[in-house]
Amino acid sequence: MSSELERRLEGLLAESPEPDPGAGEESLHRSLRALQPAAPGHRGLRTAVLVFAAAAVLLAIAAGSLAAAGALHVSFGQKARQRPVTTTQLLRPRDANGIAAIVDGRLSVAIKGGFRIEGLTASTVALSPHAWYVAAGIGHSLVAMAPDRRTAWSHPVGGEVVAIAWAPDGLRVAYVVRHGHRFALRAIYGNGTHDALIDRSVRPVRPSWRADSLAFAYVGGGGHAVVYDLGHQRHSVVGAAAPVTHLAFAPAGRALLVATPGSAVVDGKTVASGEVEAIGWFHTRATVALGAGFRPPLVRTFTRNGRQAEAFRVPGRVVAVTGGLVVTRTSDRILAGWRGKSLNTVLGVRSTTPVADLAVG
């Protein structure tokens, strides 16, 4: 994007009046599409996010400010002065742009191009589309870091961030924050501004964005799946399944896959029964990993009409199904592979070390 286009976009955002709730989301997306030149999808995404983050400070400045407040300790090229980390170096899966994990309360990140973070204390982590950015719960703040090490922002939340989800277009982030014994759901722009409360009583489950980035699903305080429409600022309870433990919108369209402790449901239709370890999508196929009676775990994929398309077994315990990859945990390592095939080690851990969160992009 040229500097002239950047100035036009900045002027547009700075001078336009506050829109109606329904018009705001549409105008934001239309403005970006109109001003962006023709370019490969990942370049357009990166440019949009960088323009929205133009007001952010340099990562070094943000880290320094947070460190002064006792909220953040980060270093690049030198080992941080913290207690010894119990993990080996995180290795990026061959079929992913990046991977991030919280192991024993420490953040590890490996992103294509050589960017790494090791040993930073954090509560949860998420990667933006194509792993251009890393968002993490650090102290009582939501912190975003750029792999090019040039930009970052930090937003105080007054509690511990326990789940983060980045919208497919990279322009918004939904997150869950703990306040005492309660959890609240909030959403913030991808540049760290316009933070808003969405629901003051939810379950600590990672939200899932719809493919068009105009709505996302989460688990309400009663344990049911809820879809929040940003344009109309409207909450809609979907399905009767409860308590919901995982949820995942399809990468295209509006199909929503939800899981309870004993079943997986797509748009109200039960596709699998048993102890659900993880759910996700392999392109258009809903994917469910079943444990307990299935050892090693059985991973099943289903077509839109609920028919089983394929099934395969994987070692260990499935911790994530994301981006076409199935990620499992054995006694001493984390593995990832495309549909369970050619699994390679991405993280070596001690058998007693808990893996609290993991994201692949």
> pLDDT of 147-191, one tens digit each?
766 657 999 999 999 999 999 999 999 999 999 999 999 999 999
Question: Using one digit for the tens of pLDDT, what is the confidence trace for 278-292?
Answer: 999 988 899 999 986
What is the CATH number for 350?
Answer: 2.130.10.10
The confidence score (pLDDT) of residue 353 equals 67
| Domain coverage including residue 264 | 39-360
The confidence score (pLDDT) of residue 4 equals 53
Is residue 49 in a domain? yes
Is residue 30 in a domain? no
Is residue 124 in a domain? yes
Neighbour-count burial for 118-140, b at 16+ CB within 10 Å, e otherwise: bbbbbbbbbbbbbbbbbbbbbbb
The confidence score (pLDDT) of residue 134 equals 93
Cα angle for residues 277, 267, 284 (degrees, 5° grid): 70
Q: Is the CB of residue 134 less than 8 Å from the CB of residue 148?
A: no
The confidence score (pLDDT) of residue 296 equals 81
The confidence score (pLDDT) of residue 24 equals 47
Q: Is the CB of residue 284 less than 8 Å from the CB of residue 276?
A: no
The confidence score (pLDDT) of residue 108 equals 86
Is residue 22 in a domain? no
Is residue 32 in a domain? no
Parallel/antiparallel/unpaired status of strands 246-249 and 234-238: unpaired
Is residue 3 in a domain? no
The confidence score (pLDDT) of residue 90 equals 82
Domain count for the chain, please give it: 1
The confidence score (pLDDT) of residue 293 equals 63
The confidence score (pLDDT) of residue 150 equals 61
**Of 95, 85, 93, 128, which Cα lies nearest the Cα of 110?**
93
The confidence score (pLDDT) of residue 171 equals 94
Is residue 310 in a domain? yes
Q: Give the chain's residues under pLDDT 70.
A: 1-88, 148-151, 292-295, 350-354
The confidence score (pLDDT) of residue 280 equals 93
Q: Is the CB of residue 314 less than 8 Å from the CB of residue 342?
A: no
Is residue 140 in a domain? yes
Parallel/antiparallel/unpaired status of strands 341-348 and 355-360: unpaired
